[in-house]
Amino acid sequence: MNNRYVQAVVEDVLQEAILHKLLNHYRPDISLIGVSGKRGNNYIRQSIRGFNEASQFLPHIVLTDLDRIVCAPQLISDWIDFEISSQMLFRVAEKEIDAWILSDREEFAKFLGVPCNKIPVDTQELADPKQYIINLARRSRKKIIKDIIPSGLGTQGPGYNLLLQDFVINAWNPDRASENNLSLQKAIIRLRDFLR
């Protein structure tokens, strides 16, 4: 099997962990030569044309969150006024990558130590998946999970990214998760076909 080398662009370390997991699971023939971004979606929005141009020389996978925009087609319309290269895979997690993580409901419920029925079947419909995770963590009896919860004015606890990264690496199953999240399902389909 010949390896394909790709540059990744993500918003943060959670997206990076998810992308690594998806590539290992579905496209072991693709190796990430580097991961850039990790500065939020404004950086990706401002640089998207440059990533598209650079993909002519080195294929790119670009992953961003929908956040407060109504739908993925609206985000694409707002951000992209050029033809997307066949060498650039651009995917949008609805509403946030955190919804993809939650979508492996049974495993995530075990991780948090909460009943599975507290996690909705269609995680894509959650208005604020990150806040939903934090609220679930407040119900957990696991001491370490409390690091997910913010104190003071923070939007997330000090261990939020680290604990969720660990979950993605060691327990998250994208096959199960994709059954509960259409944007993840679509991303997997596109990833399977990328550079074929």
List pLDDT tens digits, range 51-85: 999 999 999 999 999 988 888 999 999 999 999 99
User: What is residue 110's three-state secondary structure?
Assistant: helix
| Angstrom distance (rounded) from CA 73 to CA 145 | 35
* pLDDT (average), residues 30-57: 96
pTM for the model stands at: 0.94
**189 and 157, same structural domain?**
no
Q: Please give the residue that has the higher pLDDT: either 189 or 153.
A: 189
Question: Which CA distances in Å does 192 have to 43, 137, 142, 148, 177?
Answer: 27, 34, 37, 33, 16
**62 and 40, same structural domain?**
yes
Return the C-alpha torsion angle 138, 185, 183, 8, nearest 10. Answer: 90
**119 and 84, same structural domain?**
no
Mean pLDDT of the chain: 95
Q: How many domains does the chain have?
A: 2
| Angstrom distance (rounded) from CA 39 to CA 57 | 23
**68 and 47, same structural domain?**
yes
